[in-house]
Amino acid sequence: MAEAHSAVAFSFSITHEGWDVNFDREVLHLVWQSGVRSWKKRFFRFQNNLKSGVYPASLESLWITVITVTAIHFAGFKVPYDLVGKISPYLSDSSVPAHLAGSFVVGLFLWLAVIYAIRYILKVLLMYKGWMYEARGKGRKISNFTRVWLLLVKIFSGWHKPMLYSFQGSLPRLPLPSVVDTMTRYLRSVRPLLDDENYTRMERLAKEFQSGIGNKLQRYLILKSWWSTNYVSDWWEEYVYLRGRSPLMVNSNFYGIDAILTYPTTLQAARAASAICSCLQYRRLIERQELEPILVQGLVPLCSWQYERLFNTTRIPGIEVDKIVHYQDAKHIVVYHKGRYFKVLIYYRNRILQACEIEVQIQQILDDQSAPSVGEEKLAALTAGDRAAWAQARQEFFGKGVNRVALDLIEKAAFVVTLDDVSYEYDPEHPEKLDNYGRILLHGKGYDRWFDKSFTLCVGNNGRIGFNAEHSWADAAVMSHLWEYVISTEFVNEEADAPVMGTLWEYIMATDNEIG
């Protein structure tokens, strides 16, 4: 791991002349800024959660409701049921403050009652799935029932822009099919794969399961479905992914490639900076919940919970089962280049670094010719191997000390960036180059991707990019959404910093050569 300099902000000592106190104003200022930023994020996260929790209503509607209730009460109308007059004596001895407080309590109660009634109605509406099976296309009409359903969903979904998690409380529970339906669908799915003799045997086994242990297991599932909104997700995550002991490299992780027909620059540092900056902006959109949830047909919301683990997330190996750890915040990324790991800060004075500022750091890494530390170059090969072996090595060699600090820097990073020393190529006349492109992103050299991280951003020395993503933390659609944002930002945003800064960097280097 590249060496890091440590600073002491405050020191206290006693000498023969008295007390000696030293402090570094700059370091203390940085500590203060870090604390302010942390508390700001907590405040805005709380505020956003509050806004999402009351959607489709708004916080402004609370004050409108309270003012309306207060006006009705002081106008002499005992509506509704004179609730304000009944609870006011319990709130204050003074008449006017008591009535004001009573009006606020009643207004808050009515406001919450209406909100939760709307959210429950929306949840019931979203349980209808018949719209999926209706014919679409020119000249085809949907049923009147679905038309009414669409109108009601539109009304109860709210008319202002939803935040990322606005619909989480309105999503229906995952329906639990009966044992009979499950067995019927199972037999239908295996029928093309079995001959008559084996299919008859499978029918017998299905009936035995249905009349035996299946009913007992179904009761457990019913109990769990009452307790949780999704009775599958945690078991699916554990038994399909986290309990797997085979290597992640080619068995679980997946990859994504660049826009193969064109890309904005051939400068590796410029393209890396542009992609990193786009990823950080996307992370900020998630943190502020400014992304709109995915809406099927522009109306039916999908669950957005998996977006939370897109950044600051890593998979920790275990002897029998792994676990996914998500950190609330990360102030750095980790960059790998020619066997060395570099910690790159991504904030300056509580703001995200611009692409040009990130590019300067990336170029310094590319120009650094220092040799890797002992064991540093192929450290990531541990994440590419058997999970039990990696877990044992982690316990034995990374339990404490410098190794533990270095590992924490990688695992607590927002994400990992790999600056490859090979080019990512696409040539329509030579399709095998695209195959090689995919192989590089899928496994690289086996030790130059941190396969446990939520994703590793890969940058070729010709400016093309791609990613390698760990699969257990989310479905591929979430990572695809991020990648669509990264790729499209470079082409849609006319003020993209990286290509411009790439030209500036060429100018700076040429000027330095002339001066030299």
* Residue type present at position 282: Y
CA distance 405 to 407: 5
Residue pair 309/402 in contact (Cβ under 8 Å)? The answer is no
Residue 158: left if φ>0, alpha if ψ -120 to 50, beta else—which one? left
Distance of alpha carbon 339 from alpha carbon 380, whole angstroms: 10
Supply the DSSP string of 449-508, one letter for each residue. Answer: S-TTBSEEEEE-TTS-EEEEE-STTS-HHHHHHHHHHHHHHHHH-TT-HHHHHHHHHHHH
Cα of 111 vs its chain's centroid, Å: 32
Find all residues with CB under 8 Å of 136, minimum gap 6, and list them: 142
Q: Is 29 a catalytic residue?
A: no
Read off the tokens for 482.
């991020």
Q: Which residue has the tokens 């700001």?
A: 40
Give the active site residue among 73, 326, 430, 471: 471
The Cβ of residue 414 has, within 10 Å, a number of other Cβ atoms equal to: 24
CA distance 404 to 32: 26
Element (H, E) at 316: strand 313-316
What is the DSSP pairing of strand 332-337 with strand 340-345? antiparallel
From the CB of residue 278, how many other CB atoms can be counted at a distance below 10 Å? 23
φ, ψ dihedrals at 322, nearest 5°: -85, 175
**Rounded alpha-carbon distances, angstroms, from residue 284 to 102, 183, 204, 224, 289:** 40, 45, 55, 35, 8
Token look-up 């030790």 returns 447
Cβ 156 vs Cβ 125: under 8 Å: yes
Catalytic residues: 471
